[in-house]
Structure 1
Amino acid sequence: MNATAPQVPNNLVWAILATLFCCLPGGIVSIVYAAQVNGKLAAGDIAGAQDSSEKAKKWAIYSAIAGIVVGILYTVLVVMMGIGGAASGGY
């Protein structure tokens, strides 16, 4: 009987990228969950590994969305400050 362990992605690359480029707190949570996947697979906890994998993926997505939202808000703020400064004769 060929019993191979199921392939459960740990999403560690996405967690690290989200931490570096998007949102540090959400990315760290994603890294923690991603780090749990391989250990749970080695212990035979397939359901736990799949749960940690899904949580890592969700937190990486949340982190990416937060980074995009903050970037857009920052850009809008800078543009509004520039328009306000030009209108008041600050230049």
Structure 2
Amino acid sequence: MKQWFAKGLGDGIMAAMPAAEIEEFFLPLFRDAGMPADMAVFTRHESEGRLHCEVVAYFSPAAAEAARAVGAEPCEMPVRSGLGLLAGDERAWEALFAE
């Protein structure tokens, strides 16, 4: 399995700006790479028992350049449940989470 990356973006209210910055940085890289189905960034609200949820961005292995540029850390592949596609193509769901 290839390496995934994760970056905390803050609580649900504050995460909008960093999420937009990630998307803005990612899109030119995505286009330059030929818009591959396996290159994507996903987000999920995670609480882990805390009072406030934190939004976490998950970068697929093909998005490693973008992940490193924003300081994301290596992580396990996230489970699909609760994820939203922040940047990439809808084909990413099938390419990355095929059962």
TM-score by length of 1: 0.27
Which is higher, the Rg of structure 1 or of structure 2? 1
Higher helix share: 1
Greater RCO, 1 or 2 (C-alpha within 8 Å, sep 6+):
2
Higher strand share: 2
TM-score by length of 2: 0.25
